Amino acid sequence: IFGRERWGTILNVILAGTTKGILGHRVKPTPPNWREFSAGDYYHMHNDVGTAARVLSTNFWLQSHGWHSDWGGNFLWCGGRERNAFPNAERIAVGFNRVGMFVPHAESLHVVEHVGSSKGTGLHRFSFTSFLEIPDLQGDSALQHLDKLYGKRP
């Protein structure tokens, strides 16, 4: 298994075609945030924008085989808001060994829906989230560099 520095080098080559990174800045993966969603758990609406320049948000879903989407814990992509409505909203059923990836920005709003009970089944809803960041870019400087990379964002 590669260490974090080695993965950073590999990801820079994959994403930018060079070990020099994106727009001359090295991309580094964050440590994963592991989570088991139990009955009653959920995440409020958020967009994954961080303090460093996040160039990719990666959400890995690792439910037990047999997890039913009607038990909750699904990924709700809200997208941008238009007059208190979300015209691009979509409910994405999470499943075993699936991943969702997107570029975090002000309009990348999403939610993890309320998890109901799977009591007595022995089944679980797990996930982990990790980000690719350009740690030496912060605030407006980060946004300007990301606009160059992806185009102007909302």
What is the mean predicted confidence (pLDDT) over 66-92? 89
Task: Read off the pTM.
Answer: 0.74
CA 32 vs CA 60, 72, 128, 148: distances in Å: 10, 22, 6, 27
**pLDDT grade, residue 30 (50/70/90)?**
confident
Mean pLDDT of the chain: 79
| pLDDT at 41 (0 to 100) | 94
| pLDDT at 39 (0 to 100) | 92
| pLDDT at 105 (0 to 100) | 79
Residue recorded with tokens 């990836």:
101
Residues, the chain, total?
Answer: 154
Question: Could you report how far apart the first and last alpha carbons of the chain are, in Å?
Answer: 38
Residue among 69, 49, 4, 66 at smallest CA distance from 30? 4
The answer to whether 107 touches 124, Cβ cutoff 8 Å, is: no
Using alpha carbons only, give the angle 106, 35, 73 rounded to the nearest 5 degrees.
70
**pLDDT grade, residue 112 (50/70/90)?**
very high
Which range, 67-71, 109-113, 116-120, is most confident? 109-113
| pLDDT at 110 (0 to 100) | 93
What residues form DSSP beta bridges with 61? 98, 127
In a 13 Å sphere around the CA of 7, the CA atoms on its Cβ side amount to 13
Helix H or strand E encompassing 11: helix 4-16
Helix H or strand E encompassing 44: strand 43-46
pLDDT digits 0-9 by tens, 119-136: 778 888 889 898 888 777
Task: Flag whether pLDDT at 1 surpasses 50.
Answer: no
| pLDDT at 7 (0 to 100) | 63
pLDDT digits 0-9 by tens, 31-62: 889 999 999 999 999 988 876 677 788 888 88
- The C-alpha torsion from 46 through 4 and 19 to 56, rounded to 10°, is -10
In this structure, what token pair is assigned to residue 18?
A: 């060079």
